[in-house]
Structure 1
Amino acid sequence: MPTLPFTLVVITRNEAQKIARCLESVPFAAEKLVVDSGSTDDTVAIARAHGARVVHQDWLGFGPQRNFAATQCSHPWMLVLDADEYLTPELADELQRRLPALMESDAAAAILRRHLIYMGRPMSWYRPAVGEKMARFYHRERARWSDVRVHESLQFKGASPTFHAPFLHDNNPSLVEKQLKVLLYSELKCRDWLDKDKSARMWQLPFVFALSFLKDYVLRLGFLDGWRGYVIAQTAASYAAYKRMRYYEMRVNPASRETAAAALTRSGLDH
């Protein structure tokens, strides 16, 4: 298959079960780059077997890790996927047709639509899970990831074309993995809040949970996806509440910051 002059970038740690599918979904990338932060499984070997160049970088946080990855690419244009994401054949076809003109333009980035697979099958109605728009194709000299530990976003100016066919996110094989991710993401978000010396507003906690649940279950149409919609809304509300409780604990008991970090490391959750 003819290749196009861009780099597929994937950041990994212990993604042996997913990385092959991700890399194989983009056979037309001239380069595949995996930036690994210390996998102890077969991630690195599998990535190399599927044509990727692997670079090691100790974990910096999601935003800084992605910005580091951009410096390692052989091409200025990049497609960014997570290991649990992959292109549909329809999007692969669309990218091959439209990318040459895009890469000749002065655009900074392009928008892709992501569909979520949750509890083993696609969501049908929940708004963030059906066609969520994400900037994932970009020129490294015209765009940059926000320097935050988690929930990073691509920062750029100007118009950005949108691709219509979706890529898929096979999210959290079970609720166990989801809850482990909640622990890690909460810790990272709280560290960002500490850096900014954000005040802990515990009086907001009951309202945060209720409003978050209603937003996802009602306004974002989670209820139309049945019990899976209920679960995804409840999990999102729990995450919103838990990270605020954890931040409060970090402020009133600073020693918990190091004990929690050690616990995450022992459990293999320090990313």
Structure 2
Amino acid sequence: MSQKYSISACIVTLNEESRIRDCLKSVKWVDEIIVVDSFSTDKTVDICKEYTDKVYQRAWTGNIDQKNYTIGLAKCDWILSLDADERLSPGLIEEIQEAVCNPGNAAGFFFPRRSFYLGRWIYHGDWYPDYQLRLFKRDCGQWQGTNPHGRVIIDGKTKCMKHDIYHFNYKNFSHQLRTMDNYSNIFADVMIERNKGFSLFQLISRPLYKFIKVY
């Protein structure tokens, strides 16, 4: 017999007025939407308040810590952790609704992520299916890893969904360059903090390897 479980959508934001509405529209059916905003200076907060009264302000403490803080505010059985530039496909919405009613022995679910670049789906190399764990039982998962990226670690078994989550990561080419520069600075700070460095060989070989692997 299936049982109805509740879902909290958890989202962190910072100046996402151009993308957050589509994200929120795709999760408006869940039981609870929680947004933690890092003092956006655009209309992000106003847009979020159209969809939920659970909008909080918190200074940015890093991607991983900010997401775990957001999860800590959730009250529902399941966590749906999304970025502002992600949205659920119609098929995935139905699949999620079915999964939380009949999860079996799964404590978390991976979504295949379909990334778009300047309006076009990038499907080769590492771009697709690029599975991301985004749905998990509230007491069974948390974000871990190295900033600026991270991943959800689950205490339990996981399964994979069939339908895609859509990812619109770059608004334009200049936004891509700014994002890459910001990420490289964050990662460099982490390596310095851990007393780790890069050799000349690594600086040359790693970008080349990544380019060949992805493209």
How many residue pairs are counted as aligned between the two chains? 212
Moved over 4 A (4+): none
d(CA) in 1 for partners of 2:140 and 2:163?
Answer: 24
Q: 1:28: how far off?
A: 2.1
Relative to structure 1, the CA distance from residue 57 to residue 106 in structure 2 (aligned partners, 3 Å threshold; closer, same or farther) is: farther
In the alignment, is residue 33 of structure 1 matched against residue 47 of structure 2? no
Between 1 and 2, higher relative CO (CA 8 Å, sep ≥ 6) is seen in 2
Q: Which position in structure 2 is the counterpart of 1:62?
A: 63
Q: 1:52: how far off?
A: 4.9
Identity over aligned pairs, percent: 27
In the alignment, is residue 133 of structure 1 matched against residue 131 of structure 2? yes
Relative to structure 1, the CA distance from residue 195 to residue 54 in structure 2 (aligned partners, 3 Å threshold; closer, same or farther) is: same
d(CA) in 2 for partners of 1:76 and 1:149?
Answer: 27
Q: Which position in structure 1 is the counterpart of 2:205?
A: 207
Alignment of 1:1-271 (within 5 A): 5-102=6-103, 107-123=106-122, 125-146=123-144, 148-217=146-215
CA RMSD of aligned residues (A): 1.7
- Structure 1: runs of 5+ lacking an equivalent: 218-271
- Structure 2: runs of 5+ lacking an equivalent: none
Q: 1:106: how far off?
A: 5.3
Structure whose residues are more often helix by fraction = 1
Q: 1:158: how far off?
A: 3.0
Q: TM-score, normalised by structure 1?
A: 0.74
Relative to structure 1, the CA distance from residue 22 to residue 4 in structure 2 (aligned partners, 3 Å threshold; closer, same or farther) is: farther
Q: 1:213: how far off?
A: 1.7
d(CA) in 2 for partners of 1:139 and 1:107?
Answer: 9
The 8 Å contact of residues 114 and 130 in structure 1, kept in 2 or not, is answered as: yes
Q: 1:140: how far off?
A: 3.0
d(CA) in 2 for partners of 1:98 and 1:77?
Answer: 11
Q: Which whole-Å deviations, capped at 9, do the CAs of 1:116-141 have from their partners, x for residues lacking one?
A: 11121212x31332221111111232
Relative to structure 1, the CA distance from residue 203 to residue 97 in structure 2 (aligned partners, 3 Å threshold; closer, same or farther) is: closer
d(CA) in 1 for partners of 2:16 and 2:188?
Answer: 25
The structure having more radius of gyration, on CA atoms, is 1
d(CA) in 2 for partners of 1:191 and 1:98?
Answer: 39
Q: Which whole-Å deviations, capped at 9, do the CAs of 1:211-245 have from their partners, x for residues lacking one?
A: 2221222xxxxxxxxxxxxxxxxxxxxxxxxxxxx
Alignment-mate amino acid for residue 204 of structure 2: P
d(CA) in 2 for partners of 1:150 and 1:28?
Answer: 29
